[in-house]
Chains A and B, each alone.
Chain A
Amino acid sequence: MKKYYTDKKSLTFLRVVTLIIIICIIYGLKYLMYYLRQKYPKYFVTINVTVPEIVVWSLIAIFVIAYVLFILIILPLWYTTVSYALTDEEIIAKYGLFAKVRQYMKLSAVQYITRLSFPFSKYTSFNFIFVNALGGRLVLMFLSDKDAKEIALQIDRYLKSRAGL
């Protein structure tokens, strides 16, 4: 039985991408405030703390808190819980931080697999394998390029041998 884990490269990539997106959103919100100040100068001069300012700063705070909570704390912890195992007879997936999930799928039940790789997946580890059986699906997420190829090849070999090819 060989065990596979999620590749940390995908976590780093997710962190960087979400950080860039949040910076862009914050910049956009700040620009919106700047635009509103230019358009309605009288309103912003007369009132100390304006409604648009409260909304914009609240949104920025929500985004920053969400980033810290989900991307910097929960997601890395969730990554440590994920593991996949491939035996001669079955595929096992274990994951879950708050709710612990263990999934077992017999290879004999597998009908076909789909390998989904994003562009530059070699560097981002955005590789997914969808194992499809009649009545169920198992998703193996954030695998390294090498692991994804290895798993796909092994299942493919099994399916071919089962079909007598």
Chain B
Amino acid sequence: MKRQHPIAIFRLITKNFWLLIFPLIRGLAALRFDFYTWVQGAYFDIIIIVVILVSAVERWYFTKFEIGEKEFLYESGWFFKIKYAVPYAVLSAVTTERIFLMRPFGAVKIFLDSDGIAFGASAKAADVKITTSLKESEKLFRNIQKETTKATVKYKVSRPGWMFFSLVFSSALSGAVFLITFFMQGGKIVGERLEQTFYMAVNDMTKLAGTIIKGVSPAMVVISIIIAGGWFISFVRNLLRHDNFTIARKDKNIIITNGFLTKRKYYINTDKVNYADLRQSLFMKLCRVMSVHVNCSGYGKAKNEIPVFVPISRCENICGTMKMVLPSFILSDNEICANTNALFRFLWPPGALIFLFLVMSLIAVVLFPGWSLFILFLAIMSEIPSTTLLIVKLVAFYTNGISFKNDVVCLRYCTKFQYHTVIVPKTRIAKVTIRQSFFQRLNCTCDVIINTNSEYTKSHRVRGMTLCDAVKLIKSAGISELTQ
């Protein structure tokens, strides 16, 4: 059996190490490298750092693996020894990750995952996670695909096309979340300096904005910076993640490669794909573009990863790619749609939000007349997403629906601002729920909730269907022998 690449020791070092090491080095520099005084003052922190390092080395030393002909063997620990074998036949996804900083050392991170959950691991974690050499990762891929004989079908996303789509459709929200997380986590490690730099930048920007437009408050600048910065970060992350995106099918296996700084390679077993999710925002719907995500244990599971199967492309291209890589996942038109009586159910939440923000703004203006300009800005900023949501839900009312054809279930629904077209093979359905609220019972409508096979509970809720139509459709599709 082999040990992991020595660089794995850095991965095994906990976050607390970095929280301790920076203040310690700063302390040593402040003492002008007076080592003796430094050790006297910080001996407890030094002991903790040594313990963390020793523990990482110990974990690295006692973790071993072997890439066999038909299975992957894994062993870890010395006091509590864990040993298991993962047959390649049960693997749903294998991911290799060549991080930018690891590439000069020839190190590759490998994640192996099956539909099951490894002992002591959570559903969100991979069954096996190791860092090894590039040679070993290639051997693993060779052994997994040993029985594959059929020719490869390959699809490459055109770079200018998807760069344009990324530029237009990057989400400011996800970037803003990343920006906030960066400041929170970064602040923990490097102290308050990061926040101070941000405040200084805001101050400078406010002054600059003040010279161009009169009456700009710092809060407006902060919100604008967060939105613009969020969009920019999201765009750059999309660029770095999906550059060089190729998808190839070899018999039952799908191989996806992508990444600019961090090179990723995924192996997906098509038999283990639970569902495909064709996602669109309102703007994307208008421009007839979409992206495809798939749910397969192990694919896109890591932190900050998204299980993108095909990045943003034109609908026609996506349909062609889907036919090539997942031919059994056939898209079909709705057999049942939302009931007219359910229109209110779609529109009341965004309607209530619009009304609420309006009332709150009016009250705030009456109570704080001096802040009216800022309140007006906030009111507009909050009414824009609420009104967009109203339009999104109105469109969802017309597009929501279900169809059962060719042993495949096609669900069209909307969550928040996003439209989903989910294609599920009938065999991957775990549970069907028909739910009627008190008001839905009055107008004979219902929500159909379909749980698909997944490592964790994953449900798809199609709102506002006519009860008898839903029952009839599910019964005719042979999903259930249900009765009313």
Contacts and interface: CB of A to CB of B under 8 A. Distances in A.
Category for how many chain A residues contact B: 20 to 34
B415 interface: no
Q: Is the interface of A mostly helix, strand, loop or mixed?
A: strand
B441 A100 contact: yes
A100 B442 CA distance: 12
Contacts of A27: none
A103 interface: yes
A103 B453 contact: no
Nearest to B431: A136
Contacts of A87: 481
Contact of A98 (B429, B438, B454): B438
B431 A138 contact: yes
Given A134-B454, A135-B451, A105 B431 contact: yes
A7 to B, nearest CB: 23
B361 interface: no
Contact of B456 (A90, A92, A135): A135
A104 B453 contact: no
Interface residues of B, number: 28
B477 to A, nearest CB: 12
A133 interface: yes
A137 interface: yes
Given A92-B480, A135-B452, A101 B434 contact: yes
A134 B453 contact: yes
A157 interface: no
B115 A90 contact: no
A1 B451 CA distance: 23
A102 B433 contact: yes
Given A89-B481, A135-B456, A101 B433 contact: yes
B441 A109 contact: no
Nearest to A101: B435
Contacts of A106: 429-430, 479-480
Contacts of B40: none
Contact of A135 (B427, B441, B454, B481): B454
Interface of A: 1, 87, 89-90, 92, 96, 98-106, 108-109, 133-138
